[in-house]
Amino acid sequence: MGICALPAYADELPQIEIDPPVEQAAPATTITNTTRPRKAKSDVKPDYAPAQDMLLQAMSLIGVKYKWGGATPEAGLDCSGFVRYVFQNSMNIALPHNALGMAQSGASISKDELKPGDLVFFNTLGRTFSHVGIYMGDNRFIHSPRAGKSVEITNFNQSYWTSRFNGARRYDGTGGAPVNMAALLASVPKNAAGTSKGNTALSSKPVCRTVKRKGKKQQICEAPRAARESSSPKAAKGKTYKKSSKTTSKVTKTTKGKSASGKSSKAAPKAKRSAPSSTKKKPSNK
């Protein structure tokens, strides 16, 4: 039976007086036909990307300060360093550490084809592909803007960015179906500021400054900008509150003699002077 199961190699077998039945040719054909579709199915890769994981990694870096040439959250991240760090840690994809190199290595796509995980490029320095960010969907992208700022989410439809848009690129396995933006934003911790424990970009400690108004010293305190942008809507309003310097005002009032304690101290001598009048001896009637 083994000889009959290999009709393709029949010419190499010794001549034996065995007549293989014709009916056995059909099972051989059936086996071949059933195995081929299985191989074809195993070679097909799903057309999606874990953009959700990539964007979660990117949003965990919100608040990390910009630093030209920076490649880690601890040292700071520039625009290409931020994108490179996210791709390396979420997708295990190594990208060059410059926006132009990223634009040259990805597949070009139009603005209408943008999906979460695609890279968007802009002309911010007078030359093409001088800035890069990661598209999130819903006309938003996340990037590390410039010196003095930190990783943030930006509206793609702002005139500044639409007028400087140079194109978009997609890397294999990154452009996927739309993500749930509401769930994505809700899943990011309020104190997200990268992996650096010492990063204070999102510190909730208020920043105070002393001002002098109407001859009185006051402290005006407000939450850091990065903390306001990434916290709840109430905190995002950036309410300021005034903290009067009680010790300063008390000293000032005391020196001017207007404090309550000063008044009581002045009233005491008057009481002493009035006491003798009550103890004066009345003249005798003698």
Nearest Cα neighbor of 145 from 230, 84, 66, 201 is: 66
Fold classification of 51-187 is: endopeptidase fold (from Nostoc punctiforme) (3.90.1720)
- Residue 143 annotated to the active site: yes
Residue 173 pLDDT: 72
Nearest Cα neighbor of 124 from 116, 133, 134 is: 133
pTM of the model: 0.52
User: CA-CA distance, 120 to 11, in Å (whole number)?
Assistant: 62
Residue 78 pLDDT: 96
Written as six digits, the tokens of 149 are 């700022």
Q: Look up residue 4 and give its DSSP letter.
A: T
Based on its alpha-carbon atoms, the radius of gyration of the chain, rounded to whole angstroms, reads: 39
> Residue ranges per domain, the chain?
7-43, 51-187, 203-248
Residue 52 pLDDT: 81
Residue 13 pLDDT: 38
Residue 66 pLDDT: 96
User: Which residues neighbour 21 within 8 Å (Cβ) at sequence distance 6 or greater?
Assistant: 4
User: CA-CA distance, 142 to 261, in Å (whole number)?
Assistant: 59
Strand pairing class (152-155; 140-143): antiparallel
Q: Which of 4, 97, 143, 221 is catalytic?
A: 143
Q: Which of 4, 97, 131, 208 is catalytic?
A: 131
User: Which residues neighbour 57 within 8 Å (Cβ) at sequence distance 6 or greater?
Assistant: 86, 89, 90
Tens of each residue's pLDDT in the chain, 286 residues:
444 444 443 443 344 444 555 555 555 555 455 444 444 443 444 444 467 888 989 999 999 999 999 999 999 999 999 999 999 998 888 999 999 999 998 899 999 999 999 999 999 999 999 999 999 988 999 999 999 999 999 999 999 999 999 999 998 777 555 676 676 677 665 555 444 333 333 333 455 666 666 777 676 666 544 445 444 444 444 444 444 444 444 444 444 444 444 444 444 445 445 445 544 555 555 4
Residue 110 pLDDT: 93
Q: Which DSSP helix (H) or strand (E) runs through 167?
A: strand 165-170
Residue 106 pLDDT: 85
User: CA-CA distance, 85 to 57, in Å (whole number)?
Assistant: 9
